[in-house]
């Protein structure tokens, strides 16, 4: 992270660096500070607040989600939307830098960052949460968000072939995902064909018998 003078000594006012030179998480006040945006070379912002306007709409690319930090907020659409937005920005040419923020940078922004780490880093929720806590100590998604993140994790476990590791997924396992899924599909198709052939053969060899009434 390259900082301009004389801002180097004020590092504590900066958002937390989650992925080096790529992904940051912070508060609404940090997201509206031009010095921070300039020094970190932020290009994209995920705004998870319901009442904080986008600070630099003519300069940055924003995703405004308008979420509430409560027990009723549904994240079913927000999690994949934010994850896709972040991934697209980081894989752009040239690569972008993303700041995810809510009011305090604790709950809503944490939930969105965790979803991205789980989906695109192929990490379990536990591993992603540990990683995020190490880099941003105030990380504290509410119970409702954690419950939905667990569901999000379960859905992605099916997609990625049950290759999750304790506390995360190793790069070695990631390379095995395509072969594993291919074998799983072949086994499923083979089993389905056997069942279908059995049904066809059974229906032809053992035709249905009808009971004739007595006269």
Cβ contact 69:51 at 8 Å? no
> Is the pLDDT at 6 greater than 70, yes or no?
no
Tens digits of per-residue pLDDT, 84-110? 999 999 999 899 999 999 999 999 999
Beta-bridged to residue 25, according to DSSP, are 16, 100
Task: Determine the pLDDT at residue 7.
Answer: 43
Q: Is 204 inside a domain boundary?
A: no
> Is the pLDDT at 32 greater than 50, yes or no?
yes
Q: Is 131 inside a domain boundary?
A: yes
Q: Is 202 inside a domain boundary?
A: no
* Pick from 101, 117, 23: nearest CA to 69: 101
> Is the pLDDT at 206 greater than 80, yes or no?
no
What is the sign of the dihedral through the CA atoms of 176, 179, 183 and 189?
A: positive
* Pick from 118, 98, 127, 100: nearest CA to 26: 100
Tens digits of per-residue pLDDT, 117-148? 999 999 999 999 999 999 999 999 999 999 99
Q: Tell me if residue 31 falls in helix, strand or coil.
A: helix
Which H/E stretch holds residue 199?
helix 171-205
> Is the pLDDT at 205 greater than 70, yes or no?
no
Query: What mean pLDDT do residues 4-29 have?
Result: 78
Residue 69: domain span: 7-169
Q: Is 74 inside a domain boundary?
A: yes
Q: Is 40 inside a domain boundary?
A: yes
Terminal CA-CA length for the chain: 96
Query: What mean pLDDT do residues 171-189 have?
Result: 61
- Radius of gyration of the chain from Cα atoms? 25
pLDDT band at 181 (very low <50, low <70, confident <90, very high): low
Query: What mean pLDDT do residues 156-174 have?
Result: 53
Instruction: Please tell me which residue, 191 or 6, carries the higher pLDDT value.
Output: 191
Instruction: Please tell me which residue, 186 or 131, carries the higher pLDDT value.
Output: 131
- Check which CATH number belongs to the domain holding 145 and give it: 3.90.190.10
Q: Is 126 inside a domain boundary?
A: yes
Backbone angles phi, psi at 158, to 5 degrees: -65, -40
Please list, in sequence order, all residues whose beta carbon lies within 8 angstroms of the beta carbon of residue 166, skipping any fewer than 6 positions away.
124
Task: Determine the pLDDT at residue 157.
Answer: 75
Among 52, 61, 102, 189, the one annotated catalytic: 102
Respond yes or no: is residue 102 known to be catalytic: yes
Q: d(Cα 128, Cα 168) in Å, to the nearest integer?
A: 7
> Is the pLDDT at 79 greater than 80, yes or no?
yes
Q: Report strand pairing: 44-47 vs 98-101.
A: parallel
Number of domains observed in the structure of the chain = 1
Instruction: Please tell me which residue, 210 or 79, carries the higher pLDDT value.
Output: 79
Backbone angles phi, psi at 74, to 5 degrees: -95, 130
- Global pTM reads 0.71
Q: d(Cα 141, Cα 150) in Å, to the nearest integer?
A: 12
Q: Is 186 inside a domain boundary?
A: no
Q: Tell me if residue 168 falls in helix, strand or coil.
A: strand
Q: Is 208 inside a domain boundary?
A: no
Cβ contact 99:25 at 8 Å? yes
């Amino acid at each position: 992270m390259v900082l301009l003078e004389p801002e180097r000594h004020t590092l504590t006012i900066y958002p937390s660096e989650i992925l080096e030179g790529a992904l940051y998480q912070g508060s609404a006040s940090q997201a509206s500070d031009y010095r921070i945006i300039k020094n970190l070379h932020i290009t994209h912002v995920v705004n998870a607040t319901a009442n904080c306007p986008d600070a630099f709409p003519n300069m940055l690319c924003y995703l405004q989600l308008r979420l509430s930090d409560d027990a009723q907020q549904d994240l079913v659409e927000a999690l994949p939307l934010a994850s896709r937005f972040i991934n697209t920005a980081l894989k752009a040419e040239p690569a972008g830098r993303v700041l995810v923020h809510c009011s305090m940078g604790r709950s809503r922004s944490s939930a969105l960052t965790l979803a991205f780490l789980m989906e695109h880093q192929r990490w379990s929720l536990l591993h992603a949460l540990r990683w995020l806590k190490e880099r941003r100590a105030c990380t504290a998604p509410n119970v409702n968000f954690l419950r939905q993140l667990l569901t999000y994790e379960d859905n992605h476990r099916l997609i990625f072939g049950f290759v999750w590791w304790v506390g995360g997924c190793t790069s070695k396992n990631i390379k095995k995902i395509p072969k594993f899924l291919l074998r799983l599909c072949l086994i499923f198709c083979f089993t389905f064909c056997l069942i279908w052939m059995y049904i066809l053969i059974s229906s032809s060899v053992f035709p249905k018998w009808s009971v004739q009434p007595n006269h």
